[in-house]
Chains A and B, each alone.
Chain A
Amino acid sequence: MKMDKGCLTMRKLAFIVVCISLLLTGCWDYQEVDRLAPVMAIGIDSIPGSKIILLTVQIASPEGKGGSKRTGQQGGGGEAYTVMNSEGKSLSEAIHNLSTQSTRRISLSHCKIIVLGENFAEAGIGQILDELKRDRNFRRTDWLLTTDKTAKEILEKDIELEQVPARGLDLILQNFTTLGRVLPMNLSDFSARLNEESKVSFSPLVQLEDIDKQVTSQLEKAAGRSLESAGRPKTLTISKTAVYKNLRMVGVLNEDDTRLHRWLIDSPKGSSIKFTYTPQSPTEEVQGEVMLNIIDGKTSITPQISENGITMNIAVTVKASLSETGVTGVDVLDPKVVAQLELQAAEAVKLQLEHTINTAQKEIKVDYVDFAESLHNYYPVEWKQIKDNWDDTFPTVEYRISCDVEIRNTGIITDSTQQNESEE
């Protein structure tokens, strides 16, 4: 087999040309890091009745980052982030449309926060959820947030102590993973829950609150005069939970329900119990707020199907430490008193849990407390029959709560200061 000499030279030439062109220019996705616009958060809004998606992106800007170290360049001015808006029929179209105004390539790989505006969440998020899962630039660990305002308002707000607000939101949610009241939801968990039997999911609700104004007005009321106030801007807070059913936002849990909801779904760990202590013997007249910090805890939901219908057995065990008594004359070294505290704490937990489940059954009428999932796990055969009209069955499901609180640590402080105060 003899090779044509001219052909060989042509091949060699082609080989060299490919080599050189690769070596000189690099591969197609070569991009210098300073020519990137790293998107830190995206927000999605829509107008009711319209299919158009309004996209808000928060882009970190390196130039504003505390001033570059380079001398002879601008020294430190500028915002640490910029916000851009675009619109499109779909999420990817809206992202593509950003390039009409951005001098740098939009890079989504550092986006950690996805904020869904209220209107959009209520209209249904199925359209973008698919894109978020499909696009490799969005990570499964990205946090999903819902807001009761528009996403644009949220992403334009600064967060104290953080240069880029998206990073602040990320840190808040990271703290929530270990302790806290709100159960943070990432993209993966969120869509996994939507695929479960009940088709219910939830995400933390981010709100804009004028805490400064609230505190000032309360103080003004107390003082009876107008206070001088620096008038700080509104603050982003995350303390409630938005509930989704069939890809639509159907309701919002308030702070207490959010906390107890996390107890049911996740664990009570890192939360706290607050209740009013009333001593047994009527001779003592002390009464006051007691606070327990939960060190460790576990919640289990066990369904039971009998002739009477479905009963859910909810067992909560909590190990807690005494954080504040707020009561004078409580002798926390007395085992009897501790036992009383434990009993009353368990009772308080029971009441709170009942309230949360009642909200689910009576108000929102959506099974966000995982009853369906545990039924499916324990009674897979029966579940197939219940499944179809679960939405109607759920509000009627009976439940039984048993709660066991153990106070592990009362501290070695007796209520000496308060004793002294009362004596004086």
Chain B
Amino acid sequence: MLPFRSRKRKKPPEPELNQPLATEATPENQENPSLSSSLAENLTTLQSVFANCTDLVYRELKIGQEQVPALLLYMDGITDEKTVNQDILKSLVNIRYSNPEGSGFNNIGMIKSVFMEIGNITEISTIGEVVEGVLTGNVALLLEGDARVLKIGTKAPIGRIVSEPITDGVVRGPREGFTESLRTNTTLLRRKIKDPNLKLEKVVLGRTTKTEVNIAYLEGIANPKVVAEVKKRIALIDVDSVLESAYIEEMIEDKPFSIFPQIDHSERPDKIAAGILQGQVAIFTDGTPFVLIVPTMMLHFMQSSEDYYDRSIYASWIRVVRFLFLNFALLLPALYIAVTTFHQGLLPTALLINIAAARVGAPFPTIIEVLTMEVTFEALREAGIRLPKPVGQAVSIVGGLVIGEAAVQAGMVSPITVIVVALTGISSFCIPSYSFALAIRILRFGMIILASTFGLYGMLLGLLVMQAHLVSLRSFGVPYFAPLAPFNLKDMKDSVMRLPWWAMGERPRLTANNTNNNRQRQKFFLKPAPPDENG
């Protein structure tokens, strides 16, 4: 009664999209003035916009026989210098020789359609567009006497080469991973799905960062409602910066305060491609190798892309092991506390005596021992990630030997606690998804406290609440706990176990488009069989 009473009635949030942000100075958001036909005027305007931008290059030149003043405007570094020099400048210089009649060349349209030896060219006509084009790595060509500007696409391919992903490691499977460059990432995807139905829709997010975001989905297979919902939620985002896909993730989640992650991410092109092929929608963000994929169900966090590359029997076994250790990671320390401090009758007699013998003279109650060791383990893990590699090894030696062995030697903790904590630590690494493992790590502490307070009864209560929360979650309209609840036998083919590929005749019901009955993804009855010898 009491907690409900204190709950405040929330006001529905007012849409505040039209309200100005702090970074209002950018000209895009002011009334967007058109360019004038005077080059000098345009130059002044642009110079005031780009004041103190040393990386901006103004290249003034005169083109054609009539020596019409022109201006090339681009950002140094993010444009491809080679293209600017070899293609753009050359084309402009060549106008003089190639157009003896000489009357129409001072027309931007003419330059675009006749002279420019570049593929990606658009005509623009406002200051805002010029600014944005220049900032995203294009070259702007301004011409005296023309109020239009040519935006010439020359983005420089900067960024690291495609390399093996650090997360989502596999033994068998592709070794390439996404990079920080959006176009590289979408290319990796295109190379896997060669189908015009693979749509990549561009959205620019972040008033200051102007991060390009691509929404990728397979038309006809992705659920149009989900696609529309993704677009709608992304369109609502109005921030000044998007530096990583997590910015987007947090703003489009269904339940922002849930402890469980509701959107999966990966830096593996094969995993994203597989998701898109079964009807999910991927969200590529420029500047990060991590691509979001929605809708996500809980089981997705327990699946590794390797499950689909190993033989189905092995993959199913590995999944079963993973689920076992998921339970260990969540419950083992709590179970240890509950059983040793409340339900000693459940222990085998010999184990009871062993545990008691190991605890003789232990100064702290079991709960303190376990909490101390768990927190220490968390610290070790965090330190292991943050420290530079050479030092990391030292930490693991100190952590493993000193904290484990010495704490037992000194009689601070009992050896069985160390075993329990170590096993729990190993178990939590069995969860393929790092973010899901983090959720389990936090929940484990809750379970420990419940177990030390109410024993197994408390643990069961905790699990009950957790389960109720899990089945109430939804990710873009898809039940989070599906296909277990609501149960769907056909989707169970790829859940705790994985059936062989020849048995995966249909796409999953809940993610794939259900409207036009195209759930079938391959011929049925593909089970290989040797030909009948009798003919």
Contacts and interface: CB of A to CB of B under 8 A. Distances in A.
Contact of B357 (A11, A23, A63, A167): A63
Contact of B361 (A73, A110, A137): A73
Interface in B338-361: 340-342, 344-345, 349-350, 352-361
B358 A70 contact: yes
Interface stretch (A27-35, A216-224, A249-257): A27-35
Nearest to B409: A71
A355 interface: no
B353 A15 contact: no
A38 B454 CA distance: 22
Given A33-B355, A36-B356, A70-B361, A110 B341 contact: no
B363 to A, nearest CB: 11
Given A69-B415, A70-B360, A33 B344 contact: yes
A69 B357 CA distance: 8
A31 B455 CA distance: 11
B455 A109 contact: no
Contacts of A33: 340-341, 344, 352, 355-356, 359, 366
A60 interface: yes
A27 B360 contact: no
Contact-size category for A: 20 to 34
A144 B411 CA distance: 40
Contact of B6 (A8, A27, A71): A8
B344 A27 contact: no
A72 B411 contact: yes
Given A32-B359, A33-B352, A38-B353, A137 B5 contact: no
Contacts of B455: 27, 29-30
A26 B453 contact: yes
Interface in A97-142: 107, 109-110, 112, 137
Interface in A15-53: 15, 22-23, 26-27, 29-34, 36, 38, 40
B366 A32 contact: yes
B2 interface: yes
B91 interface: no
Contacts of A29: 342, 455
Nearest to B454: A27
Contact of A38 (B349, B361, B367, B409): B349
A3 B415 CA distance: 53
B320 to A, nearest CB: 32
B345 A68 contact: no
Interface in B1-41: 2-3, 5-6
Given A27-B453, A167-B349, A109 B356 contact: no
B414 to A, nearest CB: 8
A387 interface: no
Nearest to A164: B353
Contacts of B342: 27, 29-31
A65 B349 CA distance: 13
Interface residues of B, number: 34
B365 interface: yes
Contacts of B352: 33, 36, 38, 110
B449 interface: yes
B186 to A, nearest CB: 51
A195 B352 CA distance: 35
Interface in B362-394: 362, 365-367
Contacts of B2: 11-12, 15
B427 interface: no
B452 interface: yes
Contact of A112 (B6, B349, B452): B349
A326 interface: no
Contacts of A30: 341-342, 452, 455
Contact of A62 (B353, B366, B449, B453): B353
A73 B363 CA distance: 13
A12 B357 contact: no
B341 A70 contact: no
B345 A137 contact: yes
B356 A38 contact: yes
Contacts of A73: 360-361, 411
Contacts of B340: 32-33
Given A38-B356, A112-B349, A107 B344 contact: yes
B362 A34 contact: yes
Contact of A32 (B341, B408, B409, B454): B341
Contacts of A22: 453-454
A122 to B, nearest CB: 31
Contacts of A31: 341-342, 344
Contacts of A34: 356, 359-362
Contact of A70 (B350, B411, B453): B411
A197 to B, nearest CB: 35
A27 B6 CA distance: 27
Contacts of B353: 38, 60, 62, 65
Nearest to B355: A33
Nearest to B339: A33
> Which of A3, A11, A109 has the most C-beta atoms of chain B within 10 angstroms of its own C-beta?
A109
B349 A62 contact: no
A236 to B, nearest CB: 19
Contacts of B360: 34, 62-63, 68, 70, 73
Given A11-B2, A40-B349, A107-B344, A69 B356 contact: no
Contacts of B365: 32
A23 B345 contact: no
Given A32-B366, A72-B411, A110 B356 contact: no
Contacts of B358: 68-70
Contacts of A137: 345
Contacts of A23: 449, 452-453
Nearest to A109: B345
A152 to B, nearest CB: 22
Contacts of A60: 349, 353
B349 A110 contact: yes
Interface in A127-173: 137, 167
Nearest to A107: B344
A72 B412 CA distance: 12
A112 to B, nearest CB: 7
A68 B411 CA distance: 11
Nearest to B367: A26
B5 A3 contact: yes
Nearest to B362: A34
A141 B149 CA distance: 92
Interface in A364-411: none
B9 to A, nearest CB: 14
Nearest to A104: B356
B69 to A, nearest CB: 76
24 contacts: A15-B3, A22-B454, A23-B449, A26-B452, A26-B453, A29-B342, A31-B341, A31-B344, A32-B365, A33-B356, A33-B359, A34-B356, A38-B344, A60-B353, A62-B360, A63-B357, A63-B360, A68-B358, A70-B358, A70-B408, A72-B411, A109-B344, A110-B352, A167-B350
Given A30-B342, A71-B409, 11 more contacts: A3-B5, A23-B452, A33-B355, A34-B361, A36-B344, A62-B359, A68-B360, A70-B361, A107-B344, A110-B344, A112-B349
Q: Which 9 A-B pairs have the closest CB atoms?
A: A109-B345, A62-B356, A62-B357, A34-B359, A33-B340, A65-B357, A110-B349, A34-B356, A33-B356
Interface of B: 2-3, 5-6, 340-342, 344-345, 349-350, 352-362, 365-367, 408-409, 411, 415, 449, 452-455
